[in-house]
Amino acid sequence: MIRSFKKILPQSLFRRFLLIILLPNIIVQLVAAYVFYERHWSGVSKHMAVSLAGEIEMGVRGIENNSGQARQQFINNSSAALYLGVKFLPNVLIHKSAENSSNDFPLLKSEVDKRLRDRKYSIYLSGEDPIVAIEVQLDNDLVLITASRKRLETPTTYIFILWMLGTAILFVIIAILFMRTQVRSITKLAEVAEKFGKGHDIPNFKPSGAMEVKQAAQSFIDMKGRINRQVEQRTEMLAGVSHDLRTPLTRMKLQLALMEPAAEIEELQQDIVEMEKMVQEYLDFAKGKERVIDANVNIADMIRSIVAGYRNLSKKIDVTTQNGVELHINANSLRRAITNVVDNALKYGSNVAISSRASEKYAYITIDDDGPGILPAKREEVFRPFFRLDSARNLDKGGSGLGLAIARDIVVSYGGNITLDNSATNGLRVVIKLPL
C-alpha cells in the first residue's frame, strides 16, 4: 500500500513542496466552508426565513381579524414597522397555487406551511428588482405581501467565500514564488554535481538558498577541492616515479647495447622494453582522462575514424552507427577508451562488430567479438588495474592489464559505465554507456 502511494506522489521536489502546501490548504478551506455553511449560513438563513414567515402570519392574521378602517390602519402600521408591502385585495383569487410556488425559497416555504397550515398561498419573485411576493387566499379575498429578497439572503456568505478563495490563491502564489527560489538553489547544486561528475569545470559556482542548502553546497565545494588535490598529488607523484624509473632503464639499455650480441642480451633488452611499456601505461592510468572539454564529438565519425586505423589488419570489423549522436566530451579520452576495448576484441576474435545508438538520455557504444569470452564471475575483476586472467582470454595480452581499467576510468569520470556480457557469436560484448 505504501509503495502504491509512493507511485502516485510527484517525483520532483518542487511539485512535492507544492503538494505539501496545497493539500492542507484545500482541506482547511473545505472544512471552513462546511462549518460555515452548517453553523452560520444555514442557521442565519433559517432564522431569516422564520422571522419573515412570522411577520407574514402576523400580517395575514391582522387583516383577517380586522375590517374597514381598522384593517387599513393595521396595513399602514405593518408596512411602516416591518418594512413589508402589505395589500388587501377583495374579491381576488390567488394567481398560483401552493403546489406551483417557487422552489427558490424552500426554508421560507417550510415555515409558511407551518403557520398558514391549510390556506392556499403562493411564493414567487416579482418585478425586475429582487422582490419576493407572497399571496395568501382568505376565502374570496387575497392578501399580497412583498418583501425584499435581502430579507432571505445574506451577502456575508458570498463575501466569506470570495475572501476565503482570494486569500487562498494569494497564499499559494506567494508560496510558489518562495518555493521556486529554494528549489532553484537545490537544482543548481544538482546540476553542478552532475557537471563535476562528468569532468566539467565549475569555477563560478556560489552557494545560494537556505542555510542547509548553502551548507550542502559548501561541503560539495570542499569535497571537490579535496578530490582535485588528491588527483594532482597522485599525478605529480607518478610523474616523479616515471622520471626515476626511466633514468636507470635508459642506462641499462645503453649498457646492453655496448655488449656483444647474445641470446641473454636480447632477452634482457626485451624485458626492458616491456618494463618501459608498463611504466607508461601505469602513468596513463594514473593520470586518467584530460579534464579539459574540447567540444561536441560525433560518435559515428569517431568510430569510423578508429576503424580506419585498423584497415591493414586481416580481421573483419563491421560498423553500424546511428548518425547525429553527439557527446560533449574530450575527443582524445573517448578515442582512447574505445580503442582499448577494440584492441582487446581484435586480439581474441576474428570478427568484431561495433555499433552505436542513443536513447533519450544516454549514448551506447557496443563492441562484440567472437573470441573465447569471459566467465561471468570474472567480469568485474578484469576492470582492476594489472589484473590478468589465467584462462585463454587474457585481456591486454602482451600488455600490463590496464586496458579496461583505463577505459572504465575515462567513462566513469564522465558519468557513464562499462558493462560486459555475452555477444551473439558467443564471444564478449562490451557496452559503453555515456550520458548525453
Q: What confidence tens digit (pLDDT) does each residue in 195-246 have?
A: 776 666 677 777 777 787 788 888 888 887 787 777 777 767 766 776 677 7
Q: What was the pLDDT predicted at 222? A: 82
Question: How far apart are alpha carbons 372 and 422 in whole angstroms?
Answer: 10
Range in 23-32, 50-59, 153-162, 336-345 with the lowest mean pLDDT: 153-162
Higher pLDDT among residues 400 and 344, named by residue: 344
DSSP state letter for 39: I
C-alpha–C-alpha distance, residues 279 and 106, integer Å: 98
Report the C-alpha gap between 125 and 70 in whole angstroms.
30
Percent of the chain with pLDDT over 70: 81
pLDDT, mean of residues 60-66: 83
Largest CA distance in the chain: 156
Residue 100's pLDDT is: 47
> Per mean pLDDT, which range of 23-27, 251-255, 281-285, 395-399 is the poorest?
395-399
On whether the CB atoms of residues 330 and 290 are closer than 8 A, the answer is yes
Structural contact between residues 411 and 337, judged by C-beta atoms closer than 8 angstroms: yes
Minimal CA–CA distance to 337: which of 418, 401, 397, 281? 418
pLDDT score recorded for residue 97: 55
Yes or no: say if 371 and 352 are a contact pair by the CB < 8 Å rule. no
Complete DSSP assignment for 263-313: HHHHHHHHHHHHHHHHHHHHHHHHH-S-S---EEEEHHHHHHHHHHTTTTS
The residues facing 68 across adjacent strands are none
pLDDT > 60? residue 400: no
Average pLDDT, the chain: 78
Domains recognised in the chain with CATH numbers: 12-154 (3.30.450.300), 211-287 (1.10.287.130), 295-435 (3.30.565.10)
What is the pTM (predicted TM-score) of this model?
A: 0.50
Q: What is the pLDDT of residue 225?
A: 78
- For the record, the C-alpha cell of 126 comes out as 416579482
Asked if residue 47 has pLDDT above 70, the reply is: yes
Range with the poorest average pLDDT among 75-79, 124-128, 411-415? 124-128
Is the distance from CB of 340 to CB of 397 less than 8 angstroms?
no
pLDDT for 35: 73
pLDDT at 328 over 50: yes
Q: What letter represents residue 108's amino acid?
A: L
Q: What share of the chain is helix, strand, coil (3-state, %, to 5)?
A: 60, 15, 25
33-36, long-range: CB < 8 A, 24+ apart:
33/161, 33/164, 36/157, 36/160
